[in-house]
A and B are shown apart, each in its own frame.
Chain A
Amino acid sequence: MSQALPPKLQAMVDELKSVDDLTEKYEILIEMGKDVQDIPAAMKKPECMVHGCQSLVHIYSELSTDGKIIFHGYADALIVNGLLALLVLGLSGLTPKEFLAVSPEFIKETGVMKSLTPSRVNGFYNIHEKMKVEALKHLAKLEGKA
C-alpha cells in the first residue's frame, strides 16, 4: 500500500532525504522540532502521555468544524521532538480516514531511524499509535453523528 504522503509531510521527508550525513539529518529534525508549539501544562496529564518512550512525550488532538484532526504534542528531548514534528505537523489537517490511510513506515525513507536505539524507534511508533487511537475516536464520533 503505497499511499501518497500529505504534501506537508512529503516536504519534510524530502528535506531529511536531501542530506546523507546523520548528524545533518538530526540537525534538520531538531530544527523541525522548533515549529512544534509546547502544549499547555494542563494537557501534560497521564491520559495524554505516550508510553514506551525514553523521553517524556504528550499528545492530544481536536477535531475542527470541517472534520479535520489537529494534533498537539511535545517531547522533552530535541530529536524526539523532531520526530514528533513529522507526525504532529505533517499529519495534522487530515480527516480521520485520510490520517488512517497514511502508514508510519514513511519514517524508513528518511534514514533517521537506522541508528536510533530500538527504544527510540518504538517511541516513534508509539507516538503514531497514540495518534491512531485519537483518529479512531474522532472517526467513531463522526460516524455516530452521521
Chain B
Amino acid sequence: MPEIARIRDDFPILKRSLNGKPLVYLDNGATSQKPQSVIDSLAHYYSEINANIHRGAHGLGSEATAAFEQARGLLARFIGASSGNEVVFTRNATEAINLVAQSWGRANLKAGDEILISELEHHANWVPWAMIAKEKGAVLKYLPLAEDGRIDLEKGKALFTAKTRMVAVSWVSNVLGMVNPVAKIVALAKGVGAMVLLDAAQAAPHFALNLKDTGADFAAFSSHKMLGPTGVGVLWGKEAVLEAMPPYQGGGSMIEKVGKDGITWNRLPWRFEAGTPDIGGVIALGEAVKYLSALGWEAIQAHEALLSERMLGHFAKIEGLRLYGSPRAEGRIAVFSFNLEGVNAQDVGALLDSMGLALRVGNHCAQPLMSRFECAGMVRASFYLYNTLEEADALAAALAKVKGILGKETAKK
C-alpha cells in the first residue's frame, strides 16, 4: 500500500474543513468518500459516453453498454462470483434484500415456514423479512448475540430446524463492527436445507468476499460504502437459484418478448434489472473496484488493524466509556460504537462535530440492537483505508475534551 498521505491525496474531500477545523471523517459505515478516479469516471461517462444501454442502433449506446457490462465483469471477479450472470445491479443493498424477500420469498415461503435473522440486523435486513413473513404467514426468528456482540451459535443453533427456509444475517454488524461466524452459520443452515443470504454491506468494503466459496445463496452490498457512488447496489445470487426466481419488478430490459398473448422474461442478470439503471454509477463502481484491487486487501486489512489497535488502546483508557462489542482488534473491522457514561449520545456527536469530527449517533438503523444493549443510541466511529492513526488520536483527544465539557456540567448539577 502506498503511503497514507498519498492515498489521502486521491480523496479531494479529505482536504476540506468542518466547522472551521480539519475534517476527521469517521462515518465510513454510513458512506465512504470517493477517490478522484471514481469522481472522474462519473464526469467522463456523462461528458463522453452517455447513452442508454442494451438498446439503440448507435455506437454511443454500444460504448455505454460495453462499459456497463465490463463493470459487471469486474465486480464478478472482485467478489468471487462464478460469472456476471450472478451479479444483479440494484439501487442499494436494501433493494437487493427486498428483491430476494419479494421474489424468492413470495415464490417459496408458505404459512409456518421460518425465516431466521439475528438481533443485530440493520433494518434493511429485518423489515423486508418481516413484511414477507406477514404476507405469507411465515415466522421470523432471531439468533441471539453473545456479550462480545457476535451472533451466538451455541445458544442459537437450536433455532435451525426443518422449518427454517431462509437464514439472512449480516456478515459484519454495521454498529458493532464484529465479524459474524458466517461459515458456521452457512453450515448450520445447509444442514437443515435452508437458503442463506448474507448482508455484506459492511463486509464488501473491508475484505475479500469470495462469495462462491461461502456456500451462501445470496449476498447484498452497496457501492457507496466501498468508494463507489451512491445509487448502486449489488445482489449476488447463485446462478441456478436466480434462474429459478420470478422477476421482482416489471418493465423494460427485463423482458424478452411482450405481447397481448403473453410475456417472456429476459435471461440473467437482466431479468432483475427492469428500467434504465444507474449506468454512470455502475461504471464508476467499476473504478472503485479497480482502486481497491490496486491497493490490495492485505494492505488495506493491515492498515485497518493498526487503526483498530490504536483506537481500542485509547478507548481502554477513557474512563466511563462503554464500548459495545469486543475490546480486541481480532474478529472485527475498525467500526466502534460506544457511549460515555451518563451522557446523551446526541450531545457527544454534536460536540465532536463542532470540533471537526464527523461521526454518527443514534440507533444506526438497528433499533432492536439498541434494545438488546438497553440504550437509546450509540456514538459510532467507523474508519476506512484513508483514515490515519493521528485521526484515531484526534478522536481520543476530542472525547477527552467532550468529557471535560459535559463532565463539568454533571458535576455542577
Q: Which residues does A use to contact B, with CB under 8 Å?
A: 20-23, 25-27, 30, 34, 54-55, 76-80, 115-116, 120
In the bound complex, CA of A25 to CA of B351 (Å): 10
Given contacts A23-B355, A26-B351, A27-B405, contact A79 B346 (CB under 8 A): yes
Query: Pick the contact of A30 from B346, B353, B355, B405 — CB < 8 Å?
Result: B405
Q: B341-367 interface mask toward A, CB cutoff 8 Å, 1 = contact, 0 = none?
A: 000101100110111000000100000
Instruction: Give me the 10 closest cross-chain CB pairs, A-B, nearest first.
Output: A22-B354, A77-B344, A23-B354, A22-B19, A77-B346, A78-B347, A79-B350, A77-B347, A79-B347, A26-B354
B 69-95 contacts with A by CB, 8 A: none
A34 touches B412 (CB 8 A): yes
Q: Does B20 contact A (CB under 8 A)?
A: yes
Residues B156-179 near A (CB distance < 8 A): none
Instruction: Give 6 CB contacts A-B under 8 Å.
Output: A20-B20, A23-B401, A26-B351, A54-B362, A79-B350, A79-B351
Is residue B413 within 8 Å, beta carbon to beta carbon, of the partner chain?
yes
CA A124 – CA B136 in complex, angstroms? Answer: 43
Contact B346 A55 (CB under 8 A): yes
Q: How far is the CB of A95 from chain B (nearest CB, A)?
A: 33
| A134 and B401 alpha carbons, distance in the complex (Å) | 39
Q: Cβ of B362 and Cβ of A115 under 8 Å apart? A: no
- Structural contact, A21 and B20, CB atoms closer than 8 A: yes
Asked if B406 is an interface residue, CB under 8 A from chain A, the answer is yes
What is the CB-to-nearest-CB distance from A6 to chain B, in angstroms, rounded to a whole number?
Answer: 26
**How far is B355's CA from A22's CA once the two chains are assembled, in angstroms?**
8
B261 is an interface residue with CB less than 8 A from chain A? no
B301-319 interface (Cβ within 8 A of A): none
Main secondary structure of the interface of B (DSSP, over half): helix
Residue pair A115, B346 in contact (C-beta under 8 Å): no
B154 at the interface (CB under 8 A from A): no
Chain B interface residues (CB < 8 Å from chain A): 19-20, 344, 346-347, 350-351, 353-355, 362, 401, 405-406, 409, 412-413
Of A21, A34, A54, the most chain B CB neighbours within 10 A belong to: A54
Most buried by A among B347, B355, B362, B412: B347
User: Apart from A54-B362, A79-B346, what are 6 other A-B pairs with CB-CB below 8 Å?
Assistant: A20-B20, A21-B20, A25-B354, A26-B354, A78-B347, A120-B346
User: CA separation between A116 and B353, bound complex, in Å?
Assistant: 9
Q: Which of A22, A27, A34, A54 contacts B346 (CB 8 A)?
A: A54
A residues near B362, Cβ cutoff 8 Å: 54
Q: Taking each of A20, A23, A76, A116, which has the highest tally of chain B beta carbons within 10 Å of its own beta carbon?
A: A23
Cα distance A79–B351 in the bound complex, in angstroms: 9
Q: Which residue of A lies closest to B398 (CB)?
A: A23
Residues of B within 8 A of A25 (CB): 354
Shortest Cβ distance from B377 into A: residue: A54
Q: What is the CA–CA distance of A30 and B218 in the complex, to the nearest angstrom?
A: 49
| CB-based contact B346/A80 at 8 Å | yes
Q: How far is the CB of A120 from chain B (nearest CB, A)?
A: 8
CA distance A30 to B407 in the complex (A): 11
Contact status B347-A115, CB under 8 Å: no
Closest to B345 in A: A77
Question: In whole angstroms, how far apart are the Cα atoms of A78 and B20 in the complex?
Answer: 23
C-alpha gap A55/B346 in the complex (Å): 8
Which residue in chain B gives the minimum CB-CB distance to A31? Answer: B409
Chain B residues closer than 8 Å to A80, beta-carbon distance? 346
Docked Cα-Cα span, A55 to B351, in Å, equals 16
Residues of chain A contacted by B401 (CB below 8 angstroms): 23
Q: In the complex, are the beta carbons of A55 and B344 less than 8 A apart?
A: yes
